[in-house]
Structure 1
């Protein structure tokens, strides 16, 4: 198996165009870009959350956690809504 040449890429692009049609390809690329942005923002949020937990474990900063917000897409403020954290109650 050698390297992929320009002719192979052109044939693959032509097959995709025939299979999906010229109308659907931009929509598919747009949704793929949105998914990549969401994945990137979620990965950054998890990384930030992990560093915040390690700071809390070391006792360096005692701060109240900020309310969490669920967003439909990064930067989409109109559909963002705050989320209530579940209250922990002990019954005994």
Structure 2
């Protein structure tokens, strides 16, 4: 059904619509901002993944009074 979902003329139509919407002078700035946003998103996702791997042994909530985890404080 969707074997040829993205053909070259689809990409051409998307580029033309972007040029009409943003104008040719704003496109480089828009692309630069999009690239910067993607880099930030990737780095934050990597940081969250690294934090998640390090926190698997730590308790996730407050310890109940009198529990062994409470005595660590």
Give the TM bin, normalised by the shorter chain: 0.5 to 0.7
- Give the root-mean-square deviation of aligned CA atoms: 2.2
Q: Which has the larger share of helix?
A: 2
Larger Rg: 2
Write the deviation string for residues 14-68 of structure 1: whole angstroms up to 9, x where unpaired.
23212211111111111111111111111111111111112556xxxxxxxxxxx
Tell me the SS of whatever aligns to 2:24.
coil
More strand by share: 1
TM-score of the aligned structures, taking structure 1 as reference length: 0.49
- For structure 2, list consecutive stretches of 5 or more residues without a partner in the other structure: 60-73
Of structures 1 and 2, the one scoring higher in RCO (CA 8 A, sep 6+) is 1
5+ residue gaps, structure 1, are 58-92
Task: Provide TM-score, normalisation by structure 2.
Answer: 0.60
Moved over 6 A (4+): none
